[in-house]
Structure 1
């Protein structure tokens, strides 16, 4: 890309990388003066990336970008609801994950589901209804939900309990207010005491597992190793497919520009209002800011990885990627290709995997 705006953004990045903070400040200010989000759809991406870099500069520059960006802000709950209902990657990945889980659950009278990052339980309520449609509801279901936000956890408990009661399923909800890597041995022992077929799922949650400073062990490997000891029959994960984990800032910038650029291009094809498009883009501003604007590595939480990295981790810790995923999957938008691979189904836009729905079994 050789546009004047991208050249200014790239120059700002180069100044940041070289420690020339005054030059970076002037360059990003020059870029900001050229942006008109109301007139040019692509300018929101420039705004979000420039604002993220300006966070490293602090002071007046970051404040001015934040003031400009604040015009488009909505509540986080409202943004997430908008994202879930309007962005096809989210609804499609949830539907495909639920189809995979239905395949594992079918034929079992009792099931225990470990659900990491359950949020408000929207996907899980949809899973219960999908199981009912497929005549695959278990008689007894235990959901062990791991969620750092207590309000979301309470909402999930109420929603799932109500859905299970309507559908005639004996249901128990076990909620713990923490993140995946902070699960204790007491939590795992409780999981081991629960009955039935064991399954694990996580949607857009595990890339948040924190990076610990050396010489602490790798938290992601540790979580999957402990998960393998629990020995679930199946694991289903939804994750963005890009590399923002352990690569340097320059490469992270390029990967993020490509990944979010594709998402924003798809948004421009959707039949929704300009206000909704900008609001959804703004939802991702927190991710971009974390990826590019957070200087302390152990404080970054949006640490996405490519699908292959997640598959490799599953294999290293004792799981076997599922084959035979070539089948019709739910589709929601003609611009998104649903492409099966060994171990995952990719949601592709312009031949780029944006989201991967991974599926693995306990190794024989």
Structure 2
């Protein structure tokens, strides 16, 4: 292929030129598609590169194994540019946002956590919500809309957003402030630009007087806190806020172990179950491909990263419950009266004194936990 093609501004990614039938894709067709991805990356079009990547994987499904592996290696290498330019884990974070609302173990655990939190916050006076890993505030916005729809908004609300991404915090503040104003809800937002495990003693002390009715929410965020001692210290610090409730949602697997063989065995079972769940879901091939993209970086993190750099440090539900008990938390009486909707079709639901679990073929995949 002439070098001029790679720099031809008139040349567009293959998505805009119509689909290529999988059977028609050969060695000479792949480079133009990779160049389309590269051009998106060069102009900082993260969404375009992502869509082109998904489309490329879809098109090579019927190709020979050698060409598929070669193409995937080059395409995944190109995508590393996105995380490098826009912040480590950006692509994975974007995939999480689109994936969590549809993949049953995540959807159900997060949904039950939200239902629990709604019941706790409704019509409260001077409620304070401490959200660990708030991101851009999308989940809290959904919570407020749901409460407003039922006419059960708290009388006033302060949201403390803890997140290392300052841009996301700014977006969360703008989104939630605007929404609260439209709903007539007295509202304050306090941004804490930090990882929760990096908060200093002075910062924790500064959070304690913020209100007497504190509720803590942590949806799929605490497993990123690394190291047993660090994780337990965070739970003790959260307990020191004397919250009326701590609501968390987490996957269930033992990725915290330093034993590679144990992590491999747990990863094989957990992600094997994830792939089986995907195969049973009524979704398009493109959505299935996107979901597998989400799991890929996680598996690399679990099995291929040094201990101090791993981010996907899942714990089992029994170990989470043990950690919470050791930190001084006890089951919350309101859990049993929440609408823990049974899983439909794919997952089984179990209700404990302090958690709602979701399983697949006898294996616990995720849980929503409520303690005080």
State the TM-score bracket (shorter-chain normalisation). Answer: 0.7 to 0.9
Partners of 2:339 and 2:124 in 1: how far apart?
Answer: 24
* SS of equivalent to 2:318: helix
* Equivalent residue in structure 1 for 2:167, among 151, 156, 177: 151
* Equivalent residue in structure 1 for 2:332, among 308, 319, 322: 322
Residue of structure 1 equivalent to 2:354: 343
Distance 1:188 1:351, change over 3 A: same
* SS of equivalent to 1:144: strand
Partners of 1:222 and 1:268 in 2: how far apart?
Answer: 39
Report the Cα offset of residue 90 of structure 1: 2.8
Residue of structure 2 equivalent to 1:66: 73
Residue of structure 2 equivalent to 1:209: 225
Q: Is the 8 A contact 2:340 2:356 kept in 1?
A: no
* Equivalent residue in structure 2 for 1:255, among 263, 266, 279: 266
Residue of structure 2 equivalent to 1:284: 295
Q: Does 1:38 align with 2:38?
A: no
Distance 1:77 1:253, change over 3 A: closer
Q: Does 1:181 align with 2:197?
A: yes
Ranked by relative contact order (alpha carbons within 8 Å, sequence separation 6 or more), the top structure is 1
Q: Is the 8 A contact 1:142 1:171 kept in 2?
A: yes
The CA deviation string for residues 288-331 of structure 1, in whole angstroms up to 9 with x for no partner, is: 1111001x222222110001111111111111023552764245
Report the Cα offset of residue 67 of structure 1: 2.5
The CA deviation string for residues 175-197 of structure 1, in whole angstroms up to 9 with x for no partner, is: 11111111123322332222241
Q: Does 1:166 align with 2:182?
A: yes
Q: Is the 8 A contact 1:72 1:278 kept in 2?
A: no
Distance 1:162 1:332, change over 3 A: farther
Partners of 1:170 and 1:352 in 2: how far apart?
Answer: 44
* SS of equivalent to 1:109: coil
- Structure 1 unaligned runs (5+)? 1-35, 52-62, 213-217
TM-score by length of 1: 0.75
Structure number with larger C-alpha Rg: 2
Distance 1:76 1:335, change over 3 A: same
Residue of structure 1 equivalent to 2:246: 235
Query: What is the alpha-carbon root mean square deviation over aligned residues?
Result: 2.8
Distance 1:159 1:119, change over 3 A: same
Residue of structure 2 equivalent to 1:12: none
Residue of structure 1 equivalent to 2:313: 303
Partners of 2:205 and 2:367 in 1: how far apart?
Answer: 30
Partners of 2:119 and 2:290 in 1: how far apart?
Answer: 36
Residue of structure 1 equivalent to 2:98: 82
Structure-to-structure mapping, 1:268-283, within 5 angstroms: 268-283=279-294
Partners of 2:244 and 2:129 in 1: how far apart?
Answer: 10
Residue of structure 2 equivalent to 1:142: 158
Partners of 2:262 and 2:366 in 1: how far apart?
Answer: 20
Partners of 2:203 and 2:176 in 1: how far apart?
Answer: 21
Q: Does 1:357 align with 2:357?
A: no
Give aligned pairs, total: 301
The CA deviation string for residues 246-298 of structure 1, in whole angstroms up to 9 with x for no partner, is: 2411110110111111111111222222122111111121211111001x222
Q: Does 1:223 align with 2:234?
A: yes
Partners of 2:261 and 2:337 in 1: how far apart?
Answer: 37
- Structure 2 unaligned runs (5+)? 1-58, 83-90
Partners of 2:227 and 2:365 in 1: how far apart?
Answer: 23
Report the Cα offset of residue 139 of structure 1: 1.7
Q: Is the 8 A contact 1:108 1:196 kept in 2?
A: no
* SS of equivalent to 1:169: coil
* SS of equivalent to 1:346: strand
Q: Is the 8 A contact 1:109 1:196 kept in 2?
A: no
Q: Is the 8 A contact 1:244 1:302 kept in 2?
A: yes
Q: Is the 8 A contact 2:342 2:349 kept in 1?
A: yes
Distance 1:72 1:38, change over 3 A: farther
* SS of equivalent to 2:336: coil
More deviation, 218-227/132-141: 132-141
Partners of 2:275 and 2:174 in 1: how far apart?
Answer: 34
